[in-house]
């Protein structure tokens, strides 16, 4: 069984740039959720994708967008990067839209300068 993987591990971008983060879900899972975790805080829900459709969204602006592909992998895109976007971005996969058990990837550390 393959776990959740994310790429890249680390990324440094400049304010105003755009970034794409990638996630491969755990084998057998069809739902992907994205979270942002600032230093010293718990993860904050960004959005969830189920069967290639956005299934729910947290309090994040439209410049945060995503995609899910037929193989259930996913991308998180952030446009017009701001300094406050610096965080650990976590992807979690689960089965179905009721995430009784979500399994997280190792995260992508994004630094915006």
Q: Which secondary structure element, helix H or strand E, spans residue 7, and what is its range?
A: strand 5-7
Binder to another protein among 4, 19, 21, 81 (CB under 8 A)? 4
Binder to another protein among 2, 42, 83, 84 (CB under 8 A)? 42
Q: Report the C-alpha gap between 25 and 23 in whole angstroms.
A: 6
Binder to another protein among 64, 68, 74, 105 (CB under 8 A)? 105
Nearest to 89 by CA among 53, 44, 31, 27: 44
The total of other beta-carbon atoms located within 10 Å of residue 38's CB is 13
Q: Report the C-alpha gap between 47 and 45 in whole angstroms.
A: 6
Under the criterion CB under 8 A, does residue 95 sit at the interface with another protein? no
How many residues touch another protein under the rule CB under 8 A: the total is 29
Under the criterion CB under 8 A, does residue 32 sit at the interface with another protein? no
Give contact residues for another protein (rule: CB under 8 A): 4, 6, 33, 35, 40-45, 48, 55-56, 58, 88, 90, 92, 97-107, 109
């Amino acid at each position: 069984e393959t776990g959740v993987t994310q790429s890249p591990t680390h990324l440094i971008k400049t304010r105003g740039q755009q970034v794409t983060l990638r996630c491969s879900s755990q084998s057998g899972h069809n739902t992907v959720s994205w979270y942002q975790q600032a230093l010293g805080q718990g993860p904050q829900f960004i959005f969830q994708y189920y069967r290639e459709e956005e299934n729910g969204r947290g309090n994040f602006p439209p410049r945060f967008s995503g995609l899910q592909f037929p193989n259930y992998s996913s991308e998180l895109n952030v446009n017009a990067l701001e300094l406050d976007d610096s965080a650990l971005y976590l992807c979690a996969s689960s089965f179905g839209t009721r995430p009784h058990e979500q399994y997280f990837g190792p995260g992508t550390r994004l630094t915006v300068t």
